[in-house]
Amino acid sequence: MVEIYSKALNTSILVDRLIGKIKGKPNGPTIVFFGGIHGNETAGVFALKEVFEKIKETQVQGTIYGISGNLKALKTNQRFIDKDLNRVWLKENLSQLENKTNLNNEEGEQQELYRILKHILKEEEGPFYFIDLHTTSSKTLPFITINDALINRKFSSLFPVPVVLGIEEYLDGPLLSYINQLGYVSLGFESGQHDDLSAITNNVAFIFLSLIYAGALEQGEVQNFHDYYDILVNASDKDKEVYEVVYLHRLLKTKNFKMKPNFKSFQNVKKGEQLATEENKTIESPYSAKIFMPLYQKKGSEGFFIIKKIHPFFLSLSEVIRKWKMDTLITMLPGITWMDKQRGVLRVNLKVTKYLAKQIFHLFGYRNKQKNTTHMLLFNRERTSKKEMYKNLKWYKRVS
Ligand SMILES: [Zn+2]
């Protein structure tokens, strides 16, 4: 048991790795919530504890898990101790992890989480849903982040909060990117600022809506369903647009990064506007768009992101393109070849990407990663997703 303190509630709770598990009636989904993958983000853990106390086993269809992330870092209220636990979920790490001894703190945490994850996927039945609860250092509207696969887009469109796509192109090794590569619905939910009370209430609301939308709870069984829905509508200022990350200001060796005060996620910024200072230089916004997740804490290597709204027309267009697997068409272009058709990996000559905008690849369901000096690899999020598992569910068939 680990004692975790919440500034917002000025109270402590004791939690284990398993915050809660409810196995209800058979033939339901399996929903797995993670809280506190970052140890200074306690809101998810507190919210999960509250929700598990409110639900009765007889109400549940399927199985629900609440899992705490970085226990040692949660105990000391730090983002991480040795390494960021949300940047280590890479295939090469995982293959070594099993047999590794002499683990640092986060490798120990990851080893346990990885075992639990494999156990759940082996023992439980689908459809599977994975939801990772986070908070941010700046003020923010609550929002969802997803890897851009249609199963994720469709499930997240049910919630009355904005959705941000494409963060995966900028980050290596988040837990959800790993789970998404396995093909399952996986959503990140950022509920608010670390120590705001609303970060907990937004999380409780989001957890209940997730359970209802995934079919683990009947809407009629949840007394406050409409209140939960309204909490998120109001907290997100009625914004339920889809945005795309277009820029990340990455912090490399610099230790002297400082955001100008009071920027909130989703706040409009102008091209050339001063956003931060770094090594005594002024950092300006490269776009007129919205600032996203500005960093107001010491740990973390992303200074800020810039996001832009995606027009609904392009969202629909890309859905059609992906449904008809029109991506085979791009391989007819010079400089683009399949590297692994089964896994949906394209190899693209960088000369091509000079005149073919990244947005085109996004339409076709590709996100870029890994570059050498001449080529880029593009990974298709559709070809790896387990659509069969979800395609007959109400939310998948629904026209958004
Ligand atoms: Zn986090």
Domain spans, the chain: 2-235, 242-309, 312-387
**How far, in Å, from the CA of 38 to the mean position of ligand 1?**
5
**How far, in Å, from the CA of 131 to the mean position of ligand 1?**
13
pLDDT value, residue 115? 95
CATH of range 2-235; options 3.40.220.10, 3.30.60.50, 3.20.110.10, 3.40.630.10: 3.40.630.10
**How far, in Å, from the CA of 354 to the mean position of ligand 1?**
34
**How far, in Å, from the CA of 44 to the mean position of ligand 1?**
10
**How far, in Å, from the CA of 103 to the mean position of ligand 1?**
22
pLDDT value, residue 126? 87
**How far, in Å, from the CA of 86 to the mean position of ligand 1?**
8
312-387: which CATH topology?
A: Arc Repressor Mutant, subunit A (1.10.10)
pLDDT value, residue 383? 80
pLDDT in tens, the chain (400 residues): 999 999 999 999 999 999 999 999 999 999 999 999 999 999 999 999 999 999 999 999 999 999 999 999 999 999 999 999 999 999 888 988 888 888 999 999 999 999 999 999 999 998 999 999 999 999 999 999 999 899 999 999 999 999 999 888 888 899 999 999 899 999 999 999 999 999 999 999 999 999 999 999 999 888 889 999 999 999 999 999 999 999 999 997 667 899 999 999 999 999 999 999 998 899 999 999 999 999 998 888 899 999 999 988 888 888 888 888 777 787 888 888 888 887 788 888 877 766 666 777 888 878 776 567 778 888 888 888 898 999 999 999 886 5
User: Which burial class, exposed, middle or buried, applies to 352 when counting CB atoms under 10 A from its CB (0-12, 13-18, 19+)?
Assistant: middle
**How far, in Å, from the CA of 374 to the mean position of ligand 1?**
34
pLDDT value, residue 279? 87
pLDDT value, residue 321? 84
Among candidate residues 1, 390, 55, the one with its CA nearest the CA of residue 213: 390
Q: Which residues of 266-303 are buried (b: 16+ CB within 10 A; e: fewer)?
A: beebeeeeebbebeeeebebebebbbbbbbbeeebebb
Number of H helices, E strands in the chain: 13, 20
**The two structure tokens encoding residue 182:** 């396995």
What is the residue whose two structure tokens read 């010491």? 298
**How far, in Å, from the CA of 73 to the mean position of ligand 1?**
12
**How far, in Å, from the CA of 40 to the mean position of ligand 1?**
8
* Domain 242-309 falls under CATH 1.10.860: no
**How far, in Å, from the CA of 366 to the mean position of ligand 1?**
25
pLDDT value, residue 329? 80
Query: Which residues are CB-contacts of 125 (< 8 A; sequence separation ≥ 6)?
Result: 26, 27, 30, 62, 63
pLDDT value, residue 254? 63
Reported pTM: 0.93
What is the residue whose two structure tokens read 């120990």? 108
pLDDT value, residue 2? 95
Rounded CA gap, 347 and 193, in Å? Answer: 39
**How far, in Å, from the CA of 136 to the mean position of ligand 1?**
6
**How far, in Å, from the CA of 39 to the mean position of ligand 1?**
8
Question: Which DSSP string corresponds to 300-353?
Answer: -SEEEEEEEEPPHHHHHHHHHHHHTTGGGGGGGSTTEEEEETTTTEEEEEHHHH
**How far, in Å, from the CA of 353 to the mean position of ligand 1?**
32
